[in-house]
Amino acid sequence: MPSDNTDITMSLDTDEIALILSGVKILQDLDFDVVRNIAEHTKIETFTEGELVVEAGQMGTRIYFIFEGQVEVQIPGIKGDKNSILLRKGEVIGEISLLINSTYSADIIALEDTIAFYLDQEHFKLMIEQHPAFANVMSNLMTNRMAQNGGINKVGKYELKGKLGEGNMATVFNAWDPELEREVAMKMLKYKLAYDDKFLDRFEQEAKTIASLNHPNIVHVMEVIDDFSTRFIVMEKLHGLDLSETLKEKGAFSLEDTRDILSQVASALQYAHNHGEHGIVHRDIKPSNIVIDPYGNIKLTDFGIAGPPQDKEVNIEGTPSYLAPEVINGDSLDGRADIYALGVMAFHMLTNSLPFSASTLAKLLKMQVQQKPPDIRNACPDIDEKFAEFIDSALSKEPDDRISDWVQIRNTLKPLAGEYHLTLDPNELAVTIRFRDTSYQQSASFINAMQKQLQEEGINHEIEMHRGNDEDE
């Protein structure tokens, strides 16, 4: 078995070890202070020629950084043979097994006398918790193993097909549900969150509530899977562009199109805010979280940081340009923070610019808390007074001054929401289905199924939802 090499350890100080670790491929882009902190927790081991560095089937408890020498990774083949990979100075051993708390999948043997630094399980977890940049390195390593030949190709019952995209909080994969024979999207939380006990405590509490949301304009979350030392959120796969992409491609929206999209977002938020005992606040309303299908129907996505109203926020969460002043100040928040973001989005869609912009984050946040927003009438002269007043009110600094009545909001964003009049073009066919004594939640599964069938048939369509007598959902 390998043994600690005390002589080498004593001959190198922390800065020298940090310089060596800076040459390791996966650590090269980290700040030196982060690498130095990692160096403070490393130990050194030596292996003689022919000695096992790790043994297949044993639990992964260390991540090794090769300092000198070379090793051979003996990967079992399908026919009982073994494929070999050589690793030399600057390479890493055992990172995935340690990261996902699993056994080693291959024997690794020293081909010559080899020296390696290592982090044990306790200090590895500590470094991920303390350094988000190091956690991102580990997330990238894991992402590279997902949906790759010879990598991790299955999570729960779902078969991974490839990577769809990546954000600050998660990586999204295309996956296949073999039981229901359908594509789904699978979002993997990055390790900076998966190793954050405080975040996970809240996430576990809210996951079931978020999965219970059932509305035609909210992406449907099917389940949450705890695997590979992180969480996977399984949801319906959407087809279309997000609103931020459309803004970049086409520029500002017309008043009519802005109303149409915002009224659907408002319908989703109204439902979420009134869902369950306390309601669900999204907290990250922005164009990139709005997906528009080819027929103009929208889905509100990314309830990853969503939750019930809270008394005090220690950390600012969400996208800076869309944050309500109370969120920036760390005050109590409720659904009115989403309404503020809805006002920002209205301004953004009509002008293709944000109400506030600055060269630094600190200046931007200060402007949002203290500075009066520009008058939308100057940037959009054709706007009607009712819509302009909604944006003015939504962008109020004080939540109590902000418009918050959903009936009023819905009527402003879609004037026909209260009294439904149908006007058809010569090439249009309309089918009216009236639901009586039911709710959005009860009718959503039918509407979603109908919409999916129309999409599969390639039928150009638009689904509008109206509630009689302006009742609050």
Name the phi and psi angles at 165, rounded to 5: 180, 180
Q: Which amino acid is at 339?
A: I
| The residue type at 383 | I
284 part of the active site: yes
Strands 241-242 and 290-292: antiparallel
| Separation of alpha carbons 17 and 137, rounded Å | 19
What is the DSSP secondary-structure string of 314-379? SS--S-GGG--HHHHTT--B-THHHHHHHHHHHHHHHHSS-S---SSHHHHHHHHHHSPPPPHHHH
Burial of 189 (C-beta count, 10 Å sphere; 0-12/13-18/19+) = buried
Burial of 129 (0-12, 13-18, 19+ CB in 10 A): middle
190 vs 136: CA distance, rounded Å: 7
Measure Cα distances from 329 to 324, 345, 370 in Å: 9, 21, 11
Task: Return d(Cα 195, Cα 191) in angstroms, integer.
Answer: 6
Sort 255 into a burial class: Cβ within 10 Å, 0-12 / 13-18 / 19+.
Answer: middle
Q: Which of 386, 392, 290, 380 is nearest to 339 (CA)?
A: 392
DSSP assignment of 383-411: --HHHHHHHHHHT-SSGGGS---HHHHHH
Integer distance in angstroms from the first to the last C-alpha of the chain? 67
Q: Which one from 196, 242, 284, 338 is the annotated catalytic residue?
A: 284
- Nearest Cα to Cα of residue 30 among 178, 137, 190, 165: 137
d(CA 357, CA 370) in angstroms, rounded, equals 13
Active site residues: 284
